[in-house]
Amino acid sequence: MDHNDARWFQDAVFYEVPVRSYFDSNGDGKGDFRGLAQKLDYIRDLGVDCVWVLPMYPSPNLDDGYDIADFLSIHPDYGNVNDFINFIDAAHARGLKVVADLVLNHTSDQHAWFQEARSDPNSPKRDYYVWSDDPTKYSGARIIFIDTEGSNWTFDPVANQYFWHRFFYHQPDLNYDNERLHEEMLDVARFWLNFGLDGFRCDAVPYLYEREGTNCENLPETHQFLQKLRKMVDTEFPGKILLAEANQWPEDVVEYFGTEEDPEFQMGFHFPVMPRLYMAMSRQDRAPIVDILRRTPAIRPDCQWGTFLRNHDELTLEMVTLDERDYMWNVYAPNPRMKSNLGIRRRLATLMDNNRAAIELINALMLSLPGSPCIYYGDEIGMGDNIWLRDRNGVR
């Protein structure tokens, strides 16, 4: 990989790391940035080109940090901003890039914005979130976490209104119809890019806007904001990258690359190919992979797919047929505790029955696909899982 090439991401290997779980430098039982910095030689020697750091912000950690309470600070368990800067500098000294999670769609209900919004109907922050007296609005939007959430609306007794959330009830969605919020989120991106960060993996990008009569996903207004984000990054921080997390069919994900005139993301994860790698392994048949690749539209030469076998979430089965989902559950989740939402909460090694040859083969399949591979921390050593931990914690 040529680190001076603006398209360095097209032949890079990414490595996904939760700071809390990686390496503890001070003996408090929690990973931190000083510990992660101590492991950079190991990470580089794996053949990694870019470290993707999961949410590092202050958080009540009800969703492993994706419930952010402060966008402009570091979780105290992980150190401080200076520790983060030193980590980036140490990575760059070893020829490694660093990207971090940027959660655009929502905050924690503990965020100061939400606390002010719920407490004062006249506060400017009130319009940072989506409120309603009517919990039947946007009824066309699916409930994503069907095993825990009964509605996309939750009543807040302080505000005396319902607030909108596409994910957990404690993660209120931000209101992108508010132009002031646009500037807030652009400033969040600027804040971290100014420290030398090489880009962002942007979380849950399909859900930024709500419109009655739609499924509230992949809306034109969402793409317009993402074009604004990309324009700011290209203008003020040339050479930085944006990677989209859009758990959608490939024909929808390609829209997140934008156009030459109005680009959005340089990279997008290819979610539907992932479960089909496991289908192909269990059936000993390439057909599931071939079928989804045939369905995948061509992308511009300045863009790239991100491929992966596992990540910090469940092995999602949203982008498969009902029959395929049942098949995957029967093969890979024989214990009901292995299921989570519409997926499977197991790690790569246990999914492959700790069979080294199978682990090597499925990695070879993934590495042979078009795209830049992303390795989930611990998969390189056959790390196991714990189905007795709550929700996704068993694989984190």
**Domain harbouring 134, CATH code:** 3.90.400.10
Mean pLDDT is highest, among 30-39, 308-317, 380-389, for 30-39
Q: Say whether both 205 and 119 belong to one domain.
A: no
- Please identify, among 173, 199, 223, the residue that sits at the C-terminal boundary of a domain: 173
pLDDT band of residue 384 (cuts 50, 70, 90) is confident
Rounded Cα distance, 50 and 116, in Å = 38
Q: Say whether both 132 and 213 belong to one domain.
A: no
Rounded Cα distance, 108 and 61, in Å = 9
Q: What is the mean pLDDT of residues 318-335?
A: 90
Q: Say whether both 289 and 327 belong to one domain.
A: yes
Q: Per residue in 175-219, pLDDT tens?
A: 999 999 999 999 999 999 999 999 999 999 999 999 999 999 999
Cα-based distances in Å from 224 to 3, 184, 216, 357, 370:
30, 16, 15, 46, 28
Beta-bridge mates of residue 201: 101, 243
Judged by phi (left if over 0) then psi (alpha if -120 to 50, else beta), residue 362 lies in alpha
**Strand-pair category, 131-132 with 161-164:** antiparallel
Q: Per residue in 1-20, pLDDT tens?
A: 666 778 999 999 999 999 99
Q: Say whether both 110 and 224 belong to one domain.
A: no
Rounded Cα distance, 356 and 348, in Å = 11
Q: Is residue 67 part of a domain?
A: yes
pLDDT confidence of residue 302: 96
pLDDT confidence of residue 341: 79
Q: One of 63, 64, 173, 203 is an active-site residue; which one?
A: 203
Rounded Cα distance, 343 and 310, in Å = 12
Cα-based distances in Å from 333 to 148, 254, 376, 386:
19, 31, 20, 13
Q: What is the mean pLDDT of residues 367-376?
A: 96
pLDDT confidence of residue 395: 64
Question: What is the domain extent for residue 272?
Answer: 8-105+179-395
Q: Say whether both 84 and 121 belong to one domain.
A: no
pLDDT confidence of residue 394: 62
Q: Say whether both 334 and 215 belong to one domain.
A: yes
Q: One of 210, 245, 255, 391 is an active-site residue; which one?
A: 245
Burial class (CB in 10 A: 0-12, 13-18, 19+), 128: buried
Active site residue 134: no
Q: Say whether both 289 and 189 belong to one domain.
A: yes
Q: Say whether both 298 and 188 belong to one domain.
A: yes
pLDDT confidence of residue 2: 66
Rounded Cα distance, 329 and 215, in Å = 27
The answer to whether 254 and 263 are in contact (CB under 8 A) is no
Q: Is residue 26 part of a domain?
A: yes
**Phi then psi for 84, rounded to 5 degrees?**
-65, -45
The answer to whether 141 and 217 are in contact (CB under 8 A) is yes
Question: Average model confidence (pLDDT) for the chain?
Answer: 94
| pLDDT exceeds cutoff 90 at 55 | yes
Q: What is the mean pLDDT of residues 243-267?
A: 96
Q: Say whether both 242 and 320 belong to one domain.
A: yes
Q: Is residue 3 part of a domain?
A: no
- Please identify, among 173, 199, 217, the residue that sits at the C-terminal boundary of a domain: 173
Q: Say whether both 270 and 345 belong to one domain.
A: yes
Rounded Cα distance, 278 and 80, in Å = 40
Active site residue 11: no
The answer to whether 131 and 229 are in contact (CB under 8 A) is no
Q: Say whether both 118 and 262 belong to one domain.
A: no
Is the pTM of the predicted complex or chain greater than 0.85? yes
Q: Per residue in 104-156, pLDDT tens?
A: 999 999 999 999 999 999 999 999 999 999 999 999 999 998 889 999 999 99
